[in-house]
Amino acid sequence: MKEELRERRLHTHRVYTGRAVSLDVDRVGLPDGRETTREVVRHPGSVVIVPVLPDGRLLLIRQFRYAVGEILWELPAGTLDRTAESAEACAHRELEEETGYRAGRLLPLGEFFTAPGFTDERMHVFHAEDLRPAEQQLESDELIEVFPLSWEEVQEKVRAGEIRDGKTLAALYLYALAQGGCGD
């Protein structure tokens, strides 16, 4: 990175600490010598999983998302435990909790920042194979429906604007690239 673009943190003020995130207001020095503030949501990191059944169908979930007030189509995902849980361990845990399937193998597909304008959340993407039924273990505040869909059905939902969750769209793109393309 060109150093003339880099900002440097001068001071941090923790405004809020919650279960999953914290909010900091940082005073930063700009490369030209001026100072400004940045509001940053600190996040321990997360995973999103592209689970593929032996017959080739993908497991998607539907759940109500309070922040947007809608029921969304998504891939299973979750937040890393703050006690130094690895991304792979988190992916195994979240897959089983949300879908009721256990993966025989997880393949890393990449990672991305979810919204780098205001959060440091890094999301790790995995392709889950060799799925075997297990027991869905939803958290007490989760209501999730699981749907096996063909790749064609998933692509149609994307085209129709039914899949609008950013992490799901990004993970599907990485999955398609790993499969040799992004086409039909």
Average confidence score pLDDT of the chain: 95
Tell whether domain 46-178 is in CATH 3.40.50.300: no
- Taking only the tens place, the pLDDT of each residue in 40-52 is 999 999 999 999 9
Give the DSSP per-residue string, 13-82: EEEEE-SS-EEEEEEEE-TTS-EEEEEEEE---EEEEEEB-TTSPEEEEEEEETTTTEEEEE--EEEPPT
Output the pLDDT for position 83: 72
Cα separations (Å) of 119 from 24, 43, 123, 147, 171? Answer: 10, 7, 11, 30, 19
Q: What is the pTM of this model?
A: 0.93
pLDDT of residue 140: 86
* pLDDT at residue number 65: 97
**pLDDT (0 to 100) of residue 182:** 65
Domain ranges in the chain are 3-42, 46-178
Residue ranges in the chain whose pLDDT is less than 50: 1
DSSP letters for 127-179: EEEEEEE------TT---EEEEE-HHHHHHHHHTT----HHHHHHHHHHHHHT
**pLDDT single digits (tens) 54-87:** 999 999 999 999 999 999 999 999 999 867 899 9
